[in-house]
Chains A and B, each alone.
Chain A
Amino acid sequence: MNASASSPPARRSAGYAFGFLDDRAKRELRRSMLKAVCLPGYQVPYSSREMPIGRGFGTGGLQLTLALVGPADTVKIIDQGSDDSVNAVNLRQFIELTCPGVRTTATTQAASLIQTRHRIPETPLAADQILVLQVPYPDPLVVVEPSEERRKTMHGEADYSRLWVKLYEEMVHFDEITISHRYPTRIAGHYVIDPSPIPRWDVPKLHQAECLYLFGAGREKKLYAVPPHTDAVPLTFDDVPFRVEDFTDPATGARHACVRCGATDSFLDEFMDDTGRRIHQCSDADHCRQRLAAGSHVVEAA
């Protein structure tokens, strides 16, 4: 690129252009993202570049982030709700290395750009924030139709009856819809998206949100968007309401609380402590941390 001569030295750190991607790649990504925003839920194809991390480790989300980020941005990276797990740490270090001047943070409210895997933060996002989700499988129809050509026609004609048949079969066999994550969600009354492997808990956050949601699938070379103030309705039947995860303890009838901050209104991870006791803890580490800092604590005695 001809910009190399005029670029300030600070931007040449580690020998890469700012944001790792070349300008043409960024331009193409931005164009595709604009198209995705114009057609909410439509899977826009783009030429997913080779990245220095393996496909399936968030290359789609990372390319979107790198095409969006500017020196004034503050970036937060989440993996399964945590800022400190391997995927999040690696991606954050990569951004720190290739985007000099960009600040990184763990605080949801302080970030202008958030890249995430498997969770949407508990703290509602604002109009000046963008959430980029890493997507393994962009097409919700892949479970019912193997041919991509036919899937495209089905999307075009909003022909989703076969997805509903799948829900029907689940109702017949289990008396409820058992999809735990990647819950098919209809955007703006037409396209159905795979909202990436977020739990059901996070699906309602897509509906009429303040922020822009962008979804990037690196391996499948597709990206799509749920713009602000857009309807996002999970597929269900008129007489079978959509339900999120239920954290009620069947023994006590009360809702499980986070063992750290005592929250009873967040998405909880269940695991065993060192003594073999089942415990629950906020999945969103930053949410939990902020509650602790504000003086919340566990009320129940162990």
Chain B
Amino acid sequence: MTSSTRPILEVAGLTRLHGPGCPRCVAATGPAAGSNVCPHCGTVVACADVDLTLMRGEVLGVMGESGSGKSSLVRLLYGDDVPTRGAITFHDGDTPLDLLALNARQARRLRNRAFGIVHQNPHLGLNFRVSAGGNIAERLLMGGEMRFGRIRERAMELLTRCEVPAARMDELPGRFSGGMQQRVQIARALATDPPLLYLDEVTTGLDVSVQATILDLILELQHQLGVSMIAVTHDLGVIRMLASRTIVMKTGRVVESGLTDQILEDPQHAYTQQLVAAAL
């Protein structure tokens, strides 16, 4: 991997509570308690005290069962949700930016330019009422590209790179197969050359051969473009193939983190051991 020693994203103490919240919420929930619902006030602790650092060009895997807070974490990082506590620092080139201190317009502009996201469900990431090319055009327009000819060229280039036939760029995504919809999502996410990409269960629900080609595509793009990625999945195969480092989440906490090989070969936490054993 081409990861460097310079961080692109630093997260400290990220916590998101859904509910009234009380001083005992965090202490009374978590892996030890086996629940993320506070017994005192009923607050749902989506994630608590998450620390992580993503280096430039690195792929970080986020692994965990359903409800462990993986997607909540991505929503917070991408700016779809606001954390209750914690700090997110994004290094925009050499400028560290406190994402939570930006106003709505600044945050949206940064997100359009610097972040891409690929959802598990293409309906979340694509507008099915406009063509595949139009979906890519939207990202380019958000990034300030106002030349029609240039938008067409760039959309065609991106779709070709993501192995969607350029002849089909003016068709609606609803007429594509699931794998192709995922490729269009990836093309859209990459439209503005973002340095940071979030992959939220990108291969879940696709058949195995399509999964393999999508993962190939992501790896290839990662090698060519050096994009930093956070890949959320419950599929150990995806983690093994993509991620150099991995964190394991359970009931909203990070229970283990380290090199992917180490975690998969020699899991330390009882939950990780169970997860790895269950996959084999």
Residues of A within 8 A of B (CB): 153, 156-159, 161-162, 164-166, 168-169, 171-173, 237-240
Contact = CB atoms under 8 A, between A and B. Distances in A.
Contact of B108 (A159, A164, A165): A159
Given A157-B104, A239-B147, A168 B170 contact: no
B149 interface: yes
29 contacts: A156-B104, A156-B105, A157-B104, A157-B105, A158-B105, A159-B108, A161-B138, A164-B137, A164-B138, A164-B141, A164-B146, A165-B130, A165-B137, A165-B138, A166-B130, A168-B130, A168-B133, A168-B134, A168-B137, A169-B134, A171-B148, A172-B134, A172-B170, A237-B146, A237-B147, A237-B148, A238-B146, A238-B147, A239-B148
A156 B151 CA distance: 26
A159 B143 CA distance: 11
B142 interface: yes
Interface residues of B, number: 19
Contacts of B108: 157, 159
B131 interface: yes
B166 to A, nearest CB: 13
Interface of B is mostly: helix
Contacts of B130: 165-166, 168-169
Contacts of A166: 130
A150 to B, nearest CB: 12
B203 to A, nearest CB: 28
B125 to A, nearest CB: 15
A286 B105 CA distance: 47
B202 to A, nearest CB: 24
Given A169-B134, A173-B170, 11 more contacts: A158-B105, A164-B137, A164-B146, A165-B134, A165-B138, A168-B137, A168-B151, A237-B151, A238-B146, A239-B148, A239-B149
Nearest to B106: A157
A190 to B, nearest CB: 11
B141 A153 contact: no
Q: Which of B104, B127, B148, B151 has the most CB of A within 10 A?
A: B148
